[in-house]
Structure 1
Amino acid sequence: MSKPAYFPDDGLGLNDFLRAGTLDVPEPDWIHVRTPLSKIEYPLDVEATRSAVLDNLTLVFDPELPVNIVELGLIYRVEVSPEGKVEIDMTLTAPNCPVAGSMPAIVERGAAVVPGVTEAKVNLTWSPAWSIERASEDARLALGM
C-alpha cells in the first residue's frame, strides 16, 4: 500500500515546522550563582537580592537584538520576598516572538541561581504591550533609534 501524496517523503512532520520558527536563547554564565558553600541567612536583604537578579538578567539577550532584556524594558517587575521567593513579570517584543518558548525559562533560571533564592516564577504578560519607549536611552542608541 502506497502513502497518500500529502505525506512528505522526506520525513518532516508538523513538529519540524513548528520548531523551525523558534529560536533558543543561549544560557549565559551567570554573575551571581549559588554554590554548595553559600551560607544564606534569612530574612534576605531584599534589595540586594533584587539587584543580583537584575544583574543576572542583564546577561540575557533577545537573539535578534544586540541589547539585553533589562535595557530593552522587557522586565516589568521583580519582586523578592524575605524568604527568597522571586516573582518576575516580563513581556516580549511581540506576541509571536520566536523566543517565546525559551526566554521565560532562561529568565527563571537566571533568578533561581542567585544565592538565597528559594523559588523563582516568571509571568509572561502582554499588558502593557512593549514599545521602544520602554527601552533605556542606551538601548535605543544601540538599536539606532
Structure 2
Amino acid sequence: MIVIDKLGVADKITEQLETIFDPEIPVNICELGLIYEVNTKEDGTAKIIMTLTAPACPVAGELLDEVQRKVAGIDGVKNALVELTFDPKWDKSMMSEEARLELGFM
C-alpha cells in the first residue's frame, strides 16, 4: 500500500480500514491487499484507491460505501473519496502472509 499522508491521519485511516471485511472472505480489506493507496492532503481530503477481489463482486457498492463512511468519520478528514481501480488486477499474491495462512494458501 502506498501512503502519502500530509494530514497526519494515515494510521487512523488504516485502523478503520482494518475493521472492514469482505463478507465472503473472513479477512480485512487491508490484509487482502485491496487497498492500493491512502493519500491525504492538508485541506482535509482523504483519497483511498482500492480494488476488489473480482470485478463482478456482488457487495462492491456496500464495501465502497463502508470505506467512504469510515474514513469520513475520522477527525480531521473533511472529504473522503474512494476510487475503484482494477489496474493492477488483484490476485492472491497481494494478500499478506497472515491472510494467506488463515485462508489456507500457504
After TM superposition, the score normalised by the length of structure 2 is 0.91
1:1-145 alignment runs, 5 A limit:
46-47=7-8, 49-145=9-105
Structure that is richer in strand per residue:
2
Q: Which runs of 5+ in 1 are unaligned?
A: 1-43
2:38/2:47 contact within 8 Å kept: yes
Distance in structure 1 (CA, Å) of the matches to 2:25 and 2:100: 11
Amino acid at match of 1:109: R
Offset, 1:45: 6.2
After TM superposition, the score normalised by the length of structure 1 is 0.67
Which structure has the greater CA radius of gyration? 1
Distance in structure 1 (CA, Å) of the matches to 2:84 and 2:54: 12
Root mean square deviation of aligned Cα: 1.3
Offset, 1:124: 0.6
1:34 corresponds in structure 2 to none
Distance in structure 1 (CA, Å) of the matches to 2:6 and 2:49: 20
Distance in structure 1 (CA, Å) of the matches to 2:61 and 2:38: 20
Count matched residues.
101
Distance in structure 2 (CA, Å) of the matches to 1:58 and 1:94: 20
State, as a whole percentage, how many aligned pairs show the same letter.
47
Point out 4+ residue stretches in structure 1 off by more than 6 angstroms.
Answer: none
